[in-house]
Amino acid sequence: MINSFILFLGLVLLFIIGKVSFLIHAFIFILLFFFASMRNLSTLALVKKIKYFLFALIIIYPLTTPGELVFYYSFISISYEGIFMAIENLFRLINIFMLIMILMDILPRDFFIRFLIKVCYPFSFMGINIERLSSRIYLTFEYLEIFKKHRFTLSTINVDIISQLESKNINKLNNKITIIRPEAIDYIWVIIFILSIISIQLLIL
C-alpha cells in the first residue's frame, strides 16, 4: 500500500513538473537534490549520464527560439527567450530524471515489475499474450541488474554484450515468473490518479 502511494505521488509530481514555471522548477530541483543527497544518490552522476540530452537543449533552444537577440552572425542568432527556455527545460529534464532515480531507489524492483505488467495488462484485450509480455518485462529487469555491474564501451559493445550473455551470470536468473493480474485496489488508484490530474489541470488553467 505504501509503495503504491509513493508511486502515486511520484507520478502526480511528474505531471506537475511538466506544467510549472521556472521558479517552481528551481524550488523542486532544490528539494529533489536534498532528498537525493539523503538517499546517497549522486545528482552529478545523473547529470553526466544525460549530458547529451542537456547539451542538445542548450544548443537547440537559443538557436531556434525567436525573440530579442543576444548574438547575431550570418545565419546564427541567439535570443534571450531561447536562453531562458533552455534553462527552464534543463531544470525540467533534470527534475524528471532525478524524480525517477529517487523512485527507483525507494521502491522495490519487484513492485516496479508488477506495476509495469499491470499497466500493460489491458493490451491483452487487443490480442497480446500478456504472459509472454510479462516474461519479457521480467527478463529485461533481470538483465539490467546484471549488465549495470559491467562497463560497456561503444567500440566493443557487441563483444561486451555477447560475453555477458555467455557468462555464468545468466544461469543465476530465476526462471519462475508469477502471473500478475490487476486487482480492485489497482483500479481505485487509477481512478484517483485520473481525478487528481484533472483537478491539477483545472487549477493550473
Phi, psi of 72 (to 5 degrees): -145, 130
Strand partners, 72: 77
Give the model's pLDDT for residue 71. Answer: 73
Residues whose CB is less than 8 angstroms from the CB of residue 37 and which lie 6 or more positions away in sequence, other chains included: 43
Give the model's pLDDT for residue 34. Answer: 92
CA angle 37, 30, 54 (to 5 degrees): 90
Cα distances from 85 to residues 45, 70, 140, 148, in angstroms, run 24, 14, 36, 34
Task: Sketch the domain layout of the chain as residue ranges.
Answer: 1-107, 108-205
Q: Has this prediction a pTM greater than 0.85?
A: no
Cα–Cα dist 66/76, whole Å: 12
Q: pLDDT tens for the chain, 205 residues: list them.
A: 688 888 888 888 888 887 788 888 888 899 999 989 988 888 888 888 888 888 888 888 888 888 777 777 777 778 888 888 888 889 888 999 999 889 888 888 778 778 777 777 777 777 777 777 777 777 777 666 666 655 555 555 566 556 655 555 555 555 555 667 777 787 788 888 888 888 877 776 5
139 HSE (CA, 13 A, CB side):
10
Residues whose CB is less than 8 angstroms from the CB of residue 79 and which lie 6 or more positions away in sequence, other chains included: 62, 65, 66, 67, 68, 69, 70
